[in-house]
Structure 1
C-alpha cells in the first residue's frame, strides 16, 4: 500500500501574520513619527489631526528628564500612534514638504533676480518692476548700486543681503 502524503494546509492571506521583526520595524517607524511631532512647535503641530491622548503624551514629553523614562515614553507614544489616522498625518507631512519646496524654489528665483539686478543694473530693475510693479524703484536702485560697489571693492555683501530682503518683501514672501 503506498504511503499517503499529508495534504498541505491551505492558508488564506488573512491567516498569514507579519513577522515579529516586521512588527518591531513598524513600531519603530511610529516612534520616529512621534519624535518628529514632538520636535515641532505647537503651532506646527496644530495642523495635524491628532487625538487628545496623543497631544497630552506629546506635551508630557517635555518634563521627562531620564533617558530610560523618555525611551519608555516614546514606546507609549508609538503605541498611541497606532490608533491615529496615519494616512491623514502623512498627507499633512506631504503638504508641509510641498510648501517647503515651493518656498525654496521662490527663494532661489529671488536669488537669481538679485544676481541679475547686480549684473544688469537699471535694465534688470526695469524687468523686475514689470513683474513686481509695487516694488520701490528708488530703494532698489540704491541697493543695486551699493551692491555693485561692494562687489568691485571685494567687501562683504551687506547691500546684496539688503537687496535680497527688499526683493523678498516686494514679492511678499
Structure 2
C-alpha cells in the first residue's frame, strides 16, 4: 500500500504562499531600501517620491538618532512601513541616483586621467587636452605646467595638479552645457 502523496498531482501556483524565508528576504530587502533612504543627503532625499507621511517622518527621525539600539529599532519600523507601500517608485528613484553617481565618478576619472597625462607628457600632452576639450587655452595649460616644474625643481609640493583639475572640470562643465 502506497501512502506517499501523489507527485503527479498538479498544484496551483497561486495557492502556494511564499515561504517564511522568502518573506524574510523580502522584509530585509525593504529594510535595506530604508537604510539607503536614511543615508541619503537632504537634497538627494528630496528627489525621492515618498508619498507616505508616516514613512517620511520615520526616516527623518532615524536620521537624527545616535543610539545604536534605537536606530536599529527605527530601521525595523521603516522596513515595516515599507511593506505597506509600493516600493517600486522609490527603487526607481534610487537607481536613477546611482546612475548619476556613476556618471559623476566616470567624469571625475576621465578628467583625472587627462590631467595626469598632461603632467606626464608636458607640452606634448596639450594636444590631447585640446582634442578632448577644444575650448581649453593652450597658453594657460603651458603656464600651469611651468609652475608645476618650478615647484618640483625647488622641492616644494605643487598645487598645480589641483588647479589643473579644477580648470579642466570647469571646461568640461562648459562643454556639457551646450
TM-score, with length taken from structure 1: 0.80
Q: Partner of 2:12: helix, strand, or coil? A: coil
2:152 is equivalent to residue 145 of structure 1: no
Give 1:89's aligned residue.
90
Give yes or no for contact 2:39–2:63 (8 Å, CA) kept in 1. Answer: no
Structure 2, unpaired ranges of 5+ = none
Shift of the 98–141 alpha-carbon distance from structure 1 to 2, 3 Å rule, reads same
Give 1:29's aligned residue.
29
Give 1:72's aligned residue.
73
Structure 1, unpaired ranges of 5+ = none
How far residue 10 of structure 1 moved from its aligned partner, in angstroms, is: 5.0
Give yes or no for contact 1:150–1:157 (8 Å, CA) kept in 2. Answer: yes
Deviates more, 1:39-48 or 1:151-160: 151-160
Give yes or no for contact 1:50–1:84 (8 Å, CA) kept in 2. Answer: no
* 1:94-129 deviation digits (Å, cap 9, x = unpaired): 222222222222222212211222233334324423
How far residue 55 of structure 1 moved from its aligned partner, in angstroms, is: 0.9
Q: Number of residue pairs matched?
A: 171
How far residue 44 of structure 1 moved from its aligned partner, in angstroms, is: 0.2
2:19 is equivalent to residue 19 of structure 1: yes
Q: RMSD value over aligned CA atoms?
A: 2.7
Give 1:57's aligned residue.
58
Q: Partner of 2:48: helix, strand, or coil? A: coil
Deviates more, 1:87-96 or 1:51-60: 87-96
